[in-house]
């Protein structure tokens, strides 16, 4: 199994290495067309679009670290041109669903190493058939010695080496990613992803994060966090959660169920840094479920970001200023917090045009998230020759905001899939520091 993982890792790296070669070839052709008198803007736009197409097609075919990176970028799907966003989404979904299961003898060997050779005495029963799989491990259903139903997550042998190799290869391609995604400095994105991945590889860290969340939300009327039963570097045992996943709520839930799920999801990502001092950094529908009593269940705490002081209050102030169209003050604050690349400028009209689609949810007491709105909101940002795209190239996302924006954008994306009506402005007001009725006063203070 380990040798097979290494072989597939080498194949993935070869595919990744092919991307910049293809980009370089097209760039040379584009340069020739410019010399021949071609329109510079049209040529650059075409090259960028081809680069994006190749990037997301290849990432969509990969597993391991490359797949995790693709999943991290998938929260930005609304900003990917639809002609190749759909194949990319389908490829990721297929890979997630078809992850090959680890054979039972290999699972038992991991458990021997992690829980001791007498691990069976700690369970009343253990199902050798995995109940779920992911990029670096799989989950088995079992019954603990005290009769509790539990989930046993077992990491694939060799997954750590494959992930590190993938991420090392991806780190060499930061220039290409910035071509496709303006306004995002990919070096800190990859650095953040690498740090989080290293944490995900040690299930003891995940277990500690989950213990913190379970304690913080114990008795909460809106959320349920399964407790950790046992943990080791490559294995973690938690209480089994019986609930309906958000994917089912999305496809067949009632309007009330979808509205409640959307509101609770949006609130969770803002409330958790306040309640637990941590941000849950994996906004994926598979990690959130709805219990019969109306609470939201949350699982998979492998990717979390410590935020002992909660979310930065500057974020709340920025959103307030954008909501109230106080763009002169907003631009000053963006500059102070290094959102604008040194030497670049953005006008109030540009920032208005750029942010307006994304500030819709905080301009009314209740907002209807849906796919049509999300597609329209991101529409002009996907056009390489649009003003929004050009404005984005004057801006950059500071490293400390990378994971926050990824999570909040992912949350909004899931709310749109849910077609949920949610009091987003009230949720922001209640849980986001700096989001007040008088943001200018807060900024001056």
Q: Residues near 138 by Cβ (< 8 Å), separated by ≥ 6? A: 99, 101, 102, 107, 130, 132, 153, 154, 156
pLDDT at 421: 96
State whether 233 and 249 are in the same domain: no
Would you say residue 113 lies in a domain? yes
Q: What is the pLDDT of residue 38?
A: 44
C-alpha dihedral, 156 to 158 to 163 to 166, nearest 10°: -130
Residues 347 and 379 in one domain: yes
Mean per-residue pLDDT of the chain: 77
Residue 19 has pLDDT above 50, yes or no: no
Reduced to 3 states, what is the DSSP secondary structure of residue 108? Answer: helix
Average pLDDT estimate for 250-271: 96
If one compares 77 and 124, the residue with the highest pLDDT of the two is 124
**What whole-number distance in Å separates Cα of residue 313 and Cα of residue 317?**
6
Give 3: exposed, middle or buried? Use CB within 10 Å, 0-12, 13-18, 19+: exposed
Domain boundary among the residues 81, 98, 115 is at 98
- For residues 350 and 392, membership in a common domain is answered with yes
Q: What is the pTM of this model?
A: 0.77
Domain count, the chain: 3
Tokens found for residue 147: 């009769």
Question: What pLDDT was estimated at residue 129?
Answer: 95
Residue 317 has pLDDT above 90, yes or no: yes
Same domain? 228 vs 330? no
Burial class of 410 by CB neighbour count within 10 A (0 to 12, 13 to 18, 19+): buried
Candidates 293, 271, 294, 268; CA nearest to 282 is 268
DSSP state of 76: G
Mean pLDDT, to the nearest integer, of 204-230? 97
Residue where a domain terminates, one of 65, 98, 131 = 98
Q: How far apart are CA 365 and CA 201, in angstroms?
A: 41
Other C-beta atoms closer than 10 Å to the C-beta of 287 total 17
193 or 137, greater pLDDT: 137
Q: Among candidates 328, 322, 318, 312, which has minimal Cα distance to 402?
A: 312
pLDDT of residue 56: 52
Q: Given this model, what pLDDT does residue 423 score? A: 95
- Domain annotation covers residue 28: yes
Same domain, 109 and 11: no
387 with 302, same domain?
yes
Residue 208: the pLDDT is 97
Residue 71: the pLDDT is 52
**What's the maximum distance between 2 C-alpha atoms anywhere in the chain?**
77
At residue 259 the predicted structure's pLDDT band, cuts being 50, 70 and 90, is: very high
Return the pLDDT at 274. Answer: 93
Q: What's residue 147's pLDDT?
A: 97
Please check whether residue 387 is in contact with residue 380, taking contact to mean a CB–CB distance below 8 angstroms.
Answer: yes
Q: Pick left, alpha or beta for residue 343 (phi over 0 → left; psi -120 to 50 → alpha; otherwise beta).
A: left
Are residues 277 and 321 located together in one domain of the fold?
Answer: yes
Q: With contact defined as beta carbons under 8 Å apart, do 419 and 359 qualify? A: no
Please tell me the distance from the alpha carbon of residue 219 to that of residue 267, in angstroms, as a whole number. 17
Show Cβ contacts of residue 20 under 8 Å, excluding neighbours closer than 6 positions. 172, 173, 175, 176
Contact 240, 151 (CB under 8 A): yes
- Are 362 and 387 in a shared domain? yes
Burial of 184 (0-12, 13-18, 19+ CB in 10 A): buried
Residue 200: the pLDDT is 80
Spatial CB neighbours of 365, under 8 Å, sequence gap ≥ 6: 423, 425, 426
Q: Do residues 138 and 154 touch, judged by C-beta distance below 8 A?
A: yes
Residue 165 within any structural domain of the chain: no
pLDDT at 383 over 80: no
| Whether 251 and 125 share a structural domain | no
Give the pLDDT of residue 426: 94
CATH number at residue 153: 3.30.200.20
Residues 433 and 394 occupy one common structural domain: yes
**361 occurs within a structural domain:** yes
End of a domain among 51, 74, 98?
Answer: 98
Long-range contacts of 377-382 (CB under 8 A, 24+ apart): 377/78, 378/78, 378/79, 381/79, 381/354, 381/357, 382/78, 382/79, 382/80, 382/81, 382/82
- Clarify whether residues 78 and 148 are in a common domain: no
Contact 380/81 with Cβ under 8 angstroms? no
First-last CA distance in the chain: 59
Q: Which pLDDT score is estimated for 32?
A: 41
Q: pLDDT value at position 252?
A: 93
CA distances in angstroms from 73 to 170, 177, 194, 328, 437, listed in the order given = 13, 10, 14, 31, 33
Q: Return the structure tokens found at 169.
A: 């290869």
The residue that leads in pLDDT, 43 or 121, is 121
Q: Is residue 167 part of a domain?
A: no
Confidence tier at 124 by pLDDT (50, 70, 90): very high
323 belongs to a structural domain:
yes
* pLDDT value for 60: 46
Mean predicted confidence (pLDDT) in 312-332: 91
pLDDT-derived band of residue 443, with 50, 70 and 90 as boundaries? very low
Greater confidence, 123 or 75? 123
Residues 352-369: pLDDT tens digits? Answer: 777 766 788 998 999 999
Q: What does the pLDDT read at residue 397?
A: 74
> Of 136, 60, 57, 56, whose CA–CA distance to 100 is shortest?
136
What per-residue confidence (pLDDT) applies to 102?
Answer: 85
Query: Is 411 domain-assigned?
Result: yes
pLDDT tens figures, 238-257: 999 999 999 899 989 999 99
Pairing of strands 223-224, 296-298: parallel
Q: Please determine, for residue 139, whether its predicted confidence score (pLDDT) is greater than 80.
A: yes
Assign 119 a pLDDT band (cuts: 50, 70, 90): very high
Residues 34-70 have pLDDT tens digits of 344 444 444 444 545 555 555 555 554 444 555 555 5
Residue 176 within a domain: no
Most confidently predicted of 92-106, 221-235, 317-331: 221-235
What lies within 8 Å, CB to CB, of 130 at 6+ separation is: 101, 102, 138, 139, 140
The predicted pLDDT at position 400 comes to 82
Range of the domain at 109: 104-158+202-212+224-239
* pLDDT over threshold 80, residue 235: yes
Q: Which of 44-53, 71-80, 154-163, 230-239 has the lowest mean pLDDT?
A: 71-80
Confidence of residue 132 (pLDDT cuts 50, 70, 90): confident
pLDDT class for 166, splitting at 50, 70, 90?
A: low
* 346 and 440 fall within a common domain: yes
Share of the chain above pLDDT 90, in %: 42
Residue with token string 């349920």: 224
Q: Regarding predicted confidence, which is higher, 15 or 225?
A: 225
């Amino acid at each position: 199994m380990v040798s097979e993982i290494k072989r597939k890792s080498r194949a993935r790296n070869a595919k990744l290495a092919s991307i910049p070669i293809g980009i370089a070839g097209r760039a040379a052709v584009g340069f020739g067309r410019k010399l021949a008198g071609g329109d510079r803007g049209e040529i650059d736009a075409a090259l960028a679009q081809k680069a994006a197409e190749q990037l997301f097609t290849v990432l969509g075919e990969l597993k391991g670290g490359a797949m995790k990176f693709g999943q991290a970028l998938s929260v930005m799907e609304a900003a990917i041109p639809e002609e190749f966003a759909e194949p990319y989404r389908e490829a990721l979904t297929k890979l997630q669903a078809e992850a090959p299961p680890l054979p039972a003898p290999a699972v038992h060997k991991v458990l021997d190493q992690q829980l001791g050779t007498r691990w069976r005495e700690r369970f009343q029963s253990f199902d050798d058939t995995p109940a779920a799989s992911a990029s670096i491990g799989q989950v088995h259903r079992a019954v603990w010695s005290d009769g509790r139903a539990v989930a046993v997550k077992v990491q694939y042998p060799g997954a750590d080496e494959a992930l590190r190799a993938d991420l090392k290869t991806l780190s060499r391609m930061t220039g290409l990613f910035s071509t496709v995604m303006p306004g995002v400095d990919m070096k800190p994105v990859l650095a953040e992803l690498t740090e989080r991945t290293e944490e995900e590889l040690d299930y003891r860290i995940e277990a500690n994060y989950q213990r913190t969340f379970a304690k913080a939300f114990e008795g909460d009327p809106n959320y349920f966090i399964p407790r950790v039963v046992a943990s080791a570097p490559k294995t973690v045992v938690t209480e089994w959660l019986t609930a309906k996943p958000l994917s089912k709520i999305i496809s067949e839930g009632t309007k009330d169920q979808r509205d409640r799920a959307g509101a609770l999801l949006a609130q969770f990502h803002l409330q958790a840094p306040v309640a637990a001092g941590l941000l849950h950094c994996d906004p994926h529908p598979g990690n959130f479920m709805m219990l019969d009593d109306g609470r939201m269940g949350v699982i998979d705490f492998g990717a979390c970001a410590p935020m002992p002081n909660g979310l930065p209050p500057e974020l709340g102030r920025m959103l307030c200023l954008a909501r109230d169209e106080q763009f002169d003050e907003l631009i000053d604050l963006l500059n102070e917090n290094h959102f604008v690349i040194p030497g670049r400028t953005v006008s109030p009209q540009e920032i208005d045009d750029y942010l307006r689609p994304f500030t819709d949810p905080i301009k009314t007491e209740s907002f209807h998230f849906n796919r049509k709105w999300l597609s329209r909101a991101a529409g002009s940002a996907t056009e390489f020759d649009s003003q929004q795209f050009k404005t984005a190239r004057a801006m950059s996302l500071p490293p400390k905001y990378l994971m926050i924006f990824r999570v909040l954008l992912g949350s909004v994306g899931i709310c749109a899939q849910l077609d949920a009506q949610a009091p987003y402005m009230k949720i922001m007001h209640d849980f986001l520091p700096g989001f007040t009725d008088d943001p200018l006063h807060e900024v001056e203070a």
